Amino acid sequence: MNLKGKTILITGGGSGIGLEAAKQFLQIGAKVIITGRNKDKLAAAKIAYPSLTIIQSDVGNEADAQFLFDKVKELGGIDILYNNAGVGILPTNLGVANDKHLNGAVYEMEVNYFGVIRLNNLFMEMLKSREEAAIINTTSILSIVPSMIEATYSASKSALAFYTKSLRGHLHILNSNVKVFELLPPLVDTEMVADRDDKKISSEKLVKGLIKGLEKNQYTIRVGDSKLIYVLNRFFPKLTFGLINPKKINSILR
């Protein structure tokens, strides 16, 4: 896929992976629109990269999603929708059977799953009107093997992974020009996981892997340890589950 000259909308673009993606897409000659909930982060991104277009919105909110679509349409539309926004809620020390756990799961599904479907539905006809268009959905290494301490997050990303594959197949049957990519990151060194000591990959390396996959029309893009976990899980699922869920998490769950 040729990315130069394309107009790309990145959700969750005010920091972390989204902002790094905006930076690298700009470097290769794309036009970039970023959106996110945090007005200050969007403003800082605009100062750092003046050619960015910023729109404040919460993709987990139906009214905001419609507002975002209307603003993008006014700007002339997009060629690529990059569903990067995601949230993760760690369990409380009370375990899984409590209201906070349920509320967190609902929030994760609203942003990580339903929010993606909502935006895809809104932008689909716009994307179909383009000569070459794409949707990028960010799932996770945890859509391959679930984490015991991030059970509902893993579930939301697994749901998104199945949806992504089905959407790709559906559009293929319709001979659509809209390509559907799935990015499976490992743990990425971002603000959201700053307090974790686990092995992390940099946002820069992840986005480089994403762009390489897009340019090669590699529809499932695994970067870093996601490649290894995918292969190991096919042949040694019990071992792989243990790698994702080491014994030390028992102390976290207590």
Active site residues: 153
Look at residues 96, 108, 82, 93 and name the one whose alpha carbon lies nearest to residue 192. Answer: 108
Look at residues 199, 113, 121 and name the one whose alpha carbon lies nearest to residue 155. Answer: 113
Question: Going by C-beta distance under 8 Å and a sequence separation of 6 or more, which residues neighbour residue 188?
Answer: 16, 17, 200, 201, 202, 203, 206
φ and ψ at 56, to 5 degrees?
-80, 130
Contact 55, 72 (CB under 8 A): yes
Q: Rounded distance, CA 80 to CA 135, Å?
A: 6
Residue 182 backbone class (left: φ over 0; alpha: ψ -120 to 50; beta: rest): beta
Angle between helices 151-173 and 115-128 (to 10 degrees): 20
